[in-house]
Structure 1
Amino acid sequence: MSESVRAMRRETTANLESAVHSNRALSRAGLLERLFTLAFSGLVYPQIWEDPIVDMAALEIGPDDHIVAIASGSCNVLSYLTANPASISAVDLNAAHVALGRLKLCAAQHLPDHAAFFAFFGRAASRANVAAYDQDIQPHLDSLSRAYWNARGVSGRRRIDGFSGNFYRRGLLGRFIGAGHLLARLYGCDPRAMLQADSLTAQRSLYDRHLAPVLDKGFVRWLIRQPASLYGLGIPPAQYSALSNDLPGGIAAVLRQRLERLACGFDIKTNYFAWQAFGRRYDQAPDASLPPYLQRDNFAAIRDRSDRVTYRQQSMTAFLETKPARSLDCYVLLDAQDWMTDAQLTALWTEITRTAKPGARVIFRTAADERCLPGRVPAPILNAWTYDEERSRSLGARDRSSIYGAFHLYTLATVA
C-alpha cells in the first residue's frame, strides 16, 4: 500500500473519530464507537441508499443553484446533474467514497459511450471494465484516486478489480447484504425469489415465505440486538439507540417494518433498491429501474455537466466554514445528523444558516421517525428556518430505499 493511500486512510479514521467518538474509550459505548470507526474506515457504500428522485423533488433544483452534498456512493451527486444545477460540492469523511465519486466522474468524461459507462457501473462485473479503466480512465484520474484504485490487497489484486466481479458485493454494505443472504439460505429461504414477483400481491406472498420467517429465528433476533451487527448498514451506536426506541418492539420491530416496506411497498420492477437488496445487482432489462445517472437518456447530460462537480474529503461543517456568507442554495445531509452531539449540530447549523441564500433548502433523513433538531439546536438559529412537515411526510413515503424513519425538508424563512 502506497504512502498516499495510508495517508487517505489515516485522514478517514481521524475524521470518523471526530464525528463519532463522544464516550470514554474504555466504556462500553466508547468501545462500540471505536469498533464502528474501524469498520467504517474503508469503502462502505458501493451504492447510496437515499432516493435521488425524492431529493430532487424536495430541492427543486434551479440552473443557478449551488448544491453541497455528502457524497457517500455518489449515486445522488451524479443524479443531481440531471436537474442542471450550476455546481455541486460533494464532501465525505471517507476517502474511499471520494475516490469512488471521482472515478464515476472521470468515467463519465472519458469512457466512449453510455454502453461502456453502464457496463462499468450498472453491471460492474466484467474484466473489460478493468481494461477500460487502464486505457480510458486511469490516465485522467487524479493522483490520490488513482493510488486508491491501484492499491493491492493481500490477494495481490488491485481495488479496481472489484468491477470485474460485481462491485456491488464489495464494501461494508455489500458484505452485510451478502451475509444476510447466507443467513436466509441457512434457514431455507432465498431473498432472490423476490425478483420473480410480477405484482404487489406476489411480492407479499414471497416476502411472507422468504424474508419474514428469518426475522423470527431466535439467533437472528439475538444477533440484531447487538449494535455491532448493524455496522454493515452504516448505523453507528448513537443511531442504533434511536432506532431501538422508534417502535414498541425495539430494533427487531423496526427492521421488520423497514424490510417489509422495501419488499412490499413498491412495485419491484420500479425499485432498484429492492434489486440491490434481494438480487445484489441492478436489473438488466431494457426498461429496468436504475439510478438517474445510469439511465441512457441522461448520459449526455451527465457527461456535459460533470465538470460542475468537485469533491473534498472533509466534514460538511469544515467545508461550509470555507464558504462565503449567503452563497449556497441546497444542502444534502443524508443521515449524518443522527451521529452528532448537540454541539456538533449547533456548529453545523450555524454554518448552514450563515452560508444559505434566502430560500435555501436543506434535506436530510433520520433513522428514527423523529425531528432531531428542536431542543438541540438553539432556537435563534432554528427559527430562521421553516420545517415543512406535510411535504416531508409525503416525500418520505415516496423514498423507495425504505430504510429510514423519516425525511425532512427545511427552507430558510428569514435572512439570518
Structure 2
Amino acid sequence: MKEAPTEAASRADFSKVRYAQVWEDADILTEALNIGPDSVCLSIASAGDNALALLTRNPKRVYAIDLNPAQLHCLALRVAAFRSLSHQELLELIGTRPSQQRLSLYERCRENLQKESQEYWDALPETVASGIGTQGKFERYFELFRKRVVPLVHSQKTVDALFVPRIQIQRLEFYESRWNNWRWRALFKIFFSRFTMGRLGRDPAFFKYVEGSVADRILERVVYALTELNPEDNPYLQWILKGRFESALPLYLRPEHFETIRSNLDRLEWQLASVEDFTRRAGEPFLDACNLSDIFEYMSETNTEKLLRELYRVSRPGARLAYWNMLAPRSRPQSMAAELTPLNELAESLFKKDKAFFYSKFIVEEVASP
C-alpha cells in the first residue's frame, strides 16, 4: 500500500538540492541532544552536515532521513569524502578553500558512492568544480545577495571590517555608525521579503503558516548576530557575505573532529523517507535524540501534534527532541504536557549562542517517563 504524502511533500518541491549546506548551528544542537555512546539518533538529513556532526558525540546509531533524494546524494558524497580525502581536501571539495582539483577529488570519492549517487554527481561536473557546498537554491540566493545587493550598500572594505575582532559595545557602534544605513534597511526588506524569499530562496509553501513581516523579523535577528554575537566566530555569516568560511567552520568541518567522524561513519545510515514514514515503520521505542531541523515550519498545528505524538511513541524516556522555529511558532501543545517536557531554560541559553541567526526560536523537549 502506497504511503500517503506528508503535508510537507504535498506542498513543496523536493526534486532538487534546496540546501547544499545545513544552515543550522550544530554546536547548540549537539549540546541540546545530550548524546551518549548508547544513543540512537534521528536526524533530518538535508545536506548532511548536522547528521555528520552528531557522530562527534560517538552515538550508537544515526538515522538520517530526507524526502529529497538529491539531499541524500549530498550526504552520500560527504561521507565518501570523509572516507577518501584529507581534511584540507574535504574543505576544497565543499568549496570553502581555493582549488583547481575538485573534479579529481570527486573521482577519488566516487568509488565510495553507490550507483545512484555516482550517476547523480557524474551528471553535475560544473557543480562539483564550483564546490559541492555552493550550488543549492538557498546558497544561490545568498550568492545573489552577496554579489548584487551588498555592493549597492557597502564597499568590500566595509564588509571586511565587519569581521575585525571587537568587543560587544564596539560591534554595536560599528553597526550603527557604518553598517546600518538607509540602503541597507531598504534593500534588506526587499530581498528578504516573503515574495523574494519564496521565489528565489525557500519554497513559497514554507510561508503558508507565517504571519506578519518576514523581512522585519529576520532583520531583528541579523542585528543580534552582528552586534551581540561575534562575526569573527560565525561561519554562516562569513559564507553569506564572503562566499566561504574564513576564520570559522561549522562543527562537522573542524579539523579536531575529522578523525572522529571518519571513524564513526559506519554508525550512520540514510534513508529516503519522511519522519512520518520512518516512525510509522518503527515498533517499540528506540530513539534517544531527534534533530528535527525546522520541519514544523510548514506544518499545521494539527499535523505538528500528530507527528510529535508519533515521535513520542518511538522514543525512550529521557529522549530529547530539538528543532527550530523560523517564522511559524511551533512547539509541543498543552495536550501533550504529560508526554513532552519543554527544557526552556536550556533552549533559551543555547539560542542566545545560535550562530545561524535567522531563526526566531530554538526548541528542546524531553520525553517523559510513562
Matched, 1:61 2:30: no
Comparing 404-413 with 168-177, greater Cα deviation is found at 168-177
Question: For structure 1, which segment, 116-125 or 312-321, has the greater mean C-alpha deviation from structure 2 after superposition?
Answer: 116-125
TM-superposed deviation, 1:205: 4.9
Residue 259 and residue 198 in structure 1: after superposition, are their counterparts in 2 closer, same or farther (change >3 A)? same
Are residues 41 and 260 of structure 1, via their aligned partners in 2, closer, same or farther at CA, if it must alter by over 3 Å? farther
Q: Output the CA distance in 2 between the equivalents of 1:150 and 1:125.
A: 21
User: 1:230-264 deviations in whole A, cap 9, x for unaligned?
Assistant: 4544364454652x43xxxx333212112212222
Query: 2:149 is matched with which residue?
Result: 183
2:303 to 340, 344, 357: 344
Shift of 1:327: 0.9
- Following superposition, the deviation at residue 120 of structure 1 comes to 2.0
CA contact (8 A) 1:262 1:402 kept: yes
> Corresponding residue for 1:399?
354
Cα distance in 2 between the residues matched to 1:325 and 1:100: 31
Which residue number corresponds to residue 221 of structure 2? 258
Q: Is 2:247 the counterpart of 1:275?
A: no
Partner residue of 1:141? 113
Q: Which amino acid aligns with 2:358?
A: I
* Residue 359 (1) aligns with residue 332 (2): no
Q: SS of the residue aligned with 1:48?
A: coil
Match of 1:385, as an amino acid?
L
Matched with 2:136 is: 171
2:320 counterpart SS class: strand
Deviations 1:30-88 (A, max 9, x none): xxx5xxx35x5311212211111101111110000010010112111111111110110
- Are the structure 2 counterparts of residues 204 and 170 from structure 1 closer, same or farther at C-alpha, using a change threshold of 3 Å? farther
Q: Secondary structure at the match of 1:169?
A: coil
Taking the aligned partners of 2:199 and 2:40, their CA distance within structure 1 comes to 32
Q: TM-score, normalised by structure 2?
A: 0.89
1:126 Cα deviation from its structure 2 partner? 2.2
Change (3 A) 1:94 1:195: farther
1:79 aligns with 2:67: no
Matches within 5 A, 1:19-34: 19=8, 21=10
Question: Tell me, what secondary structure is at the counterpart of 1:90?
Answer: strand
Contact 1:68 1:330 in 2 (8 A): yes
**What is the deviation of 1:308?**
0.7
For the residues of structure 2 that align with 1:150 and 1:180, how far apart are their CA atoms?
A: 29
Change (3 A) 1:238 1:259: same
The 1:212–1:148 alpha-carbon spacing in structure 2 relative to 1, beyond 3 Å, is farther
> Contact 1:126–1:163 at 8 Å: present in 2 too?
no
Structure 1 Cα separation of the partners of residues 162 and 93 of structure 2 = 23
Asked if structure 2 preserves the Cα contact closer than 8 Å seen for 1:215 and 1:256, the reply is no
CA separation of 1:49 and 1:194: change in aligned 2, threshold 3 A: farther
CA separation in 1, counterparts of 2:236 and 2:192?
21
Q: Which runs of 5+ in 1 are unaligned?
A: 1-13, 22-32, 152-158
**SS class of match (1:73):** coil
**1:344 Cα shift?**
2.6
**Structure 1 residues 12-411: aligned runs within 5 Å:** 18-19=7-8, 21=10, 37-38=12-13, 41-111=15-85, 113-121=86-94, 123=96, 125-134=98-107, 136-151=108-123, 159-181=124-146, 182-187=148-153, 190=156, 192-200=159-167, 203-208=171-176, 209-210=178-179, 213-217=182-186, 221-222=189-190, 224-230=192-198, 232-234=200-202, 236-237=204-205, 239=207, 241-242=209-210, 244-245=211-212, 250-283=213-246, 288-368=247-327, 370-374=329-333, 379=335, 381-411=336-366
Deviation at 1:165, TM superposition (A): 2.5
Could you tell me how far 1:390 is from its partner in structure 2? 1.7
Change in CA separation of 1:142 and 1:125 when aligned onto 2, cut-off 3 Å: farther
d(CA) in 2 for partners of 1:220, 1:241? 22
Cα deviations across residues 277-321 of structure 1 (Å, max 9, x unaligned)? 2111111xxxx3212221222111111101111111221111121
- The TM-score, its normalising length taken from structure 1, stands at 0.79
Query: Deviation of residue 104 (structure 1)?
Result: 0.6
Using the aligned pairs only, state the percent identity: 23
- Is residue 367–residue 403 contact of structure 1 (8 Å, CA) maintained in 2? yes
1: CA distance, partners of 2:348 / 2:235 = 22
Distance 1:144 1:213, change over 3 A: farther
**Counterpart-to-counterpart distance in 1, 2:267 and 2:311:** 21
The structure showing larger relative contact order (alpha-carbon pairs under 8 Å, at least 6 residues apart) is: 2
Q: Is the 8 A contact 2:331 2:363 kept in 1?
A: no
Unmatched runs of 5 consecutive residues or more in structure 2: none
State the secondary structure of the residue aligned to 1:290: coil
RMSD of aligned alpha carbons: 2.6
